[in-house]
Amino acid sequence: MTLGALGLGIGFPAGYSVWHGITSGADFTGLLAILAGGALLLSGPVTLWKARRTGGSRRHRYLRRTGAAVLAVVVGAAIVVFVVFPIAFSYGYTHVGRAGPPPNIGLAHETVSVTTSDSLQLTASYVPSRNRAAIVIFPGASAVKEARMLARHGYGVLLLDPRGQGKSQGDLVRWAGDRDLIAGARYLQGRPDVDADRIGGFGSSVGGEILLVAAAQSDAFKAVVSEGAGFPVGEGELTGIDRLLFVPLKPVMRAATTVFSNHGPPPPIVDRIGRIAPRHVFLIYAEPGMGGEAIRQPQYYAAAGEPKAIWKVPGSAHTGGIEARPAEYERRVVAFFDGALLEAK
């Protein structure tokens, strides 16, 4: 039954692909995993029933079976929470990503190729700069509205498809996204319409987490806006019963994600974000948001060096600041990039 539950979890990405009409060759084995997992899961109760003890009085049999059922439920719940869930979640995290054509930007743009340090070709859409500054948007498909907003103010925008997503080469490895972002910044440094000292980054959700990691490594980013960055997989600082549940999940999730992605986890963001200074950092988050962002963002802000800014968007959902407060969002984000990239260079 445990193997059956794992089979269903590992087959989930295939179901996701079928639902979104992006099925590829690898998804067919995932569909088989769903069928096999379901068969194993359903065969468990049948096997247990056939193996039941039939001796003794009816009263003793019922008491014995009731006790066994309670024990099975408790043990089964523990296996689901501490084994099946972290492994299945990690598998989905490393195998579910956007596929297909790039998003419709609604602006004149070029389709370009960006080469990473490990020789992967990433696809991207680029809107040329009109003010000598440009922003890497990551992942590009998640922030089309923000890209249009920045383009209206003259910024070049590079909407980058991470490795393994869209039409970019490679496997989906989110922990390797820092290489993708650094490659995007280097691409912009070579553009004739862009000043190499006027490059920024915008990341949302997991992309916001990865952007902070990338900016801590590369001084190509002179200013970064990270929206909705929370706990990377395998991290977390919870309290009470949530902490008791998460502590044993943490090593399982990190180990499973490492195995499935063939890539080790990055260092904790809170230990790295200070390296971005004296370059500019702007953190945006929702309350309560998702993935621990309301807990982590103030911690990231405290650990960051100057200059820095933080904004909790009233009434916003996760990465929904531009929908919740469109005018204020545009004013704050554009003013941040203007001050960091355009003024008195």
pLDDT at 239 over 70: no
pLDDT value at 339 more than 90: yes
125 and 50, same structural domain? no
pLDDT of residue 58: 75
Domain extent, residue 82, equals 2-95
CATH of the domain at 159: 3.40.50.1820
One domain for residues 178 and 65? no
Count CB neighbours of 338 within 10 A: 16
Other C-beta atoms within 10 Å of 235: how many?
A: 19
Q: Does residue 327 sit within a domain?
A: yes
Task: Please give the pLDDT value at position 39.
Answer: 92
Whether residue 128 is predicted with pLDDT greater than 60 in this model: the reply is yes
pLDDT band of residue 259 (cuts 50, 70, 90) is confident
Percent of the chain with pLDDT over 90: 43
The answer to whether position 286 is within a domain reads yes
% of the chain at pLDDT higher than 70: 91
pLDDT grade for 191, boundaries at 50, 70 and 90 = very high
Q: Are 318 and 289 in contact (CB under 8 A)?
A: yes
pLDDT tens digit sequence for 38-60: 999 899 888 888 887 777 777 77
pLDDT tens digits, residue range 289-301? Answer: 787 788 889 999 9
The verdict on residue 251 lying in a domain is: no
Residue 288 placed within a domain: yes
- Kindly state whether residue 184 falls inside one of the protein's structural domains: yes
Residues 118, 56, single domain; the answer is no
Mean pLDDT of the chain: 86
Does residue 36 sit in the same domain as residue 134?
Answer: no
User: What is the number of domains present in the chain?
Assistant: 2
Domain assignment present for residue 69? The answer is yes
206 pLDDT band, cuts 50/70/90, is confident
Does a structural domain hold residue 242? no
Q: What does the H/E/C string look like for the chain?
A: CHHHHHHHHHHHHHHHHHHCCCCCHHHHHHHHHHHHHHHHHHHHHHHHHHCCCCCCCHHHHHHHHHHHHHHHHHHHHHHHHHHHHHHHHHHHHHHCCCECCCCCCCCCCEEEEEECCCCCEEEEEEECCCCCCEEEEECHHHCHHHHHHHHHCCCEEEEECCCCCECCCCCCCHHHHHHHHHHHHHHHHCCCCCCCCCEEEEEECHHHHHHHHHHHHCCCCCEEEEECCCCCCCCCCCCHHHHHHHHHHHHHHHHHHHHHHCCCCCCCHHHHHHHHCCCEEEEEECCCCCCCHHHHHHHHHHHCCCCEEEEECCCCCCCCHHHHCHHHHHHHHHHHHHHHHHCCC
Q: What does the pLDDT look like over 81-118, one tens digit per residue? A: 888 888 888 887 777 766 656 667 788 899 999 999 98
**Residue 236 pLDDT:** 56
Q: Domain boundary residue among 95, 122, 147? A: 95
Question: What mean pLDDT comes out for the span 217-228?
Answer: 95
Q: How confident is the model at residue 344 (pLDDT cuts 50, 70, 90)?
A: low
Please identify which residue in the block is written with the tokens 């968007």: 313
Residue 104 lies in a domain: no
Same domain, residue pair 69 and 129 = no
